[in-house]
């Protein structure tokens, strides 16, 4: 759950990055004005690395293949 992020213009979205061994995999896009739609758990298991490291950046509304925007959250 993420709280207190500012609402972005329609041209931008927040993008979740899952980080394992220095490699970033997109975990999806979301906006604070609506709930994100996440893949089913079976898709998630095959697509997402198992990790506790993450980052959230501001990206174009259609997303990016890798982080390009400002990091707003992460560990």
Residues forming a β-bridge with 23:
20
- In tens, the pLDDT along 11-47 reads 999 999 999 888 898 988 988 865 544 443 334 445 6
- What b/e string do you get for 19-51 counting C-beta neighbours within 10 Å, with b at 16 or more? beeeebebbbbbbeeeeeeeeeeeeeeeebeee
Can you give the residue range of the structural domain that contains 69? 12-74
Binning pLDDT at 50, 70 and 90, where does residue 75 land?
confident
Residue 5 has pLDDT above 80, yes or no: yes
Residue 64 has pLDDT above 70, yes or no: yes
pTM, entire model: 0.77
| In a domain? residue 2 | no
Total number of domains in the chain:
1
| In a domain? residue 6 | no
CA–CA separation, 63 vs 58, rounded Å?
A: 9
């Amino acid at each position: 759950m993420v709280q207190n992020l500012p609402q972005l213009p329609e041209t931008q979205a927040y993008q979740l990055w899952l980080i394992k061994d220095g490699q970033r995999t997109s975990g999806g896009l979301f906006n604070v004005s609506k709930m994100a739609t996440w893949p089913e758990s079976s898709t998630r298991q095959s697509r997402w690395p198992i990790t506790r490291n993450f980052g959230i950046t501001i990206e174009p509304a259609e997303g990016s293949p890798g982080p390009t925007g400002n990091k707003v959250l992460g560990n």
